[in-house]
Amino acid sequence: MNLTISLCFGGLTLAILLGLFRLGRGPTVLDRILAFDLIAISAVGMVVLLSVLWATPVYLELILIFSLLGFLSTVAFVFYLHGSQPMEGESQTQDSARESGHDKSSP
């Protein structure tokens, strides 16, 4: 059992290191969001393994809080990016409306 838990810790450590590399390297914002989510999930997995190793249910609240914070921060960041960037067809429609003089935003 201890060998299995040690191998899992090694795998999760490798996942966190690769996530940190992708978080710093990018190249896109979506890559960084997914890397942050990978790091959060791996950290939760490490806490779960510690809880199993020490045979204690004390860390269940911590596991739930980390899971919720990781998920909500990912959703909030994606929601923020979705609101700050124009939709694919939206900018072309506004440009053609301005050129034809039918722009609703101008008086």
Say if pTM beats, i.e. exceeds, 0.85: no
Residues of the chain with pLDDT under 50: none
Q: How far is CA 57 from CA 8, 36, 44, in A?
A: 19, 26, 14
Q: What pLDDT does residue 97 have?
A: 55
For the chain, how far is it from start to end, CA to CA, in angstroms? Answer: 73
Return the domain boundaries, the chain: 10-83
Q: What pLDDT does residue 26 have?
A: 84
